[in-house]
Amino acid sequence: MAQWAALPAAARERIHLACLPMKDPDENALLVNAVQREATVVVQKSLAEGFGLTVTEAMWKGCAVVAHPGRRHRVADRVGDTGILVDDPHDLAAVGEAICRLLEDPQGAAEMGQRAQQSVSARFLPDRHLEQWANLVCGCCAPTPKAAARGARKPRAAAEVGLRPSRDGAPARAAAHGGTP
């Protein structure tokens, strides 16, 4: 806080610090959501985060991300495509350079954010997992060659077992008990 307070007024007008409440998880979640939705760039330098939920949430909201790749997660499938990876999170010059690169190219950052959202949609939404499970089950129910020779039915694709495209463009959704999702 002291370093921010020591910045010139013009810099303080552009740089915002948020002190988020940790005692109330719901309030924290609401504030993080609001900040991520309005951010141009989200920076995550965590050394220990496993899945990378902060990064994934920011990507889902269409934000360009600057992050450390961590031990068990990757920010982007392809560096520079949906996020910028900084190898050493302690290298503040490299982190600052990555942030400046995105802020100096708003159109490029917006395009990166769009690709980030598409990546999360294709990889992590429950609909995709449901479709994969349905395809797995259908594949497991395939008749053996001997059963096929007796005229057993061939397995159906996920679309044939109740999965259909959703209105919002997500890959597929299952109709729950005949209703609409």
Rounded Cα distance between 110 and 108, Å, is: 5
Task: Report the pLDDT value the prediction gives residue 76, as an integer from 0 to 100.
Answer: 46
Return the SS3 of 117. Answer: helix
Averages of pLDDT over runs of 10 residues in the chain (181 residues) are 88 81 90 88 77 82 86 51 85 93 93 90 81 82 69 57 51 39 36
Task: Report the pLDDT value the prediction gives residue 15, as an integer from 0 to 100.
Answer: 80
Residue type, 52: G
Range of the domain at 75: 2-124
Return the SS3 of 41. Answer: strand
The answer on 56 and 8 residing in a single domain is: yes
Task: Report the pLDDT value the prediction gives residue 50, as an integer from 0 to 100.
Answer: 61
Task: Report the pLDDT value the prediction gives residue 174, as an integer from 0 to 100.
Answer: 40
The answer on 148 and 132 residing in a single domain is: yes
Rounded Cα distance between 63 and 82, Å, is: 9
Nearest Cα neighbor of 45 from 73, 18, 66 is 66
The answer on 138 and 110 residing in a single domain is: no
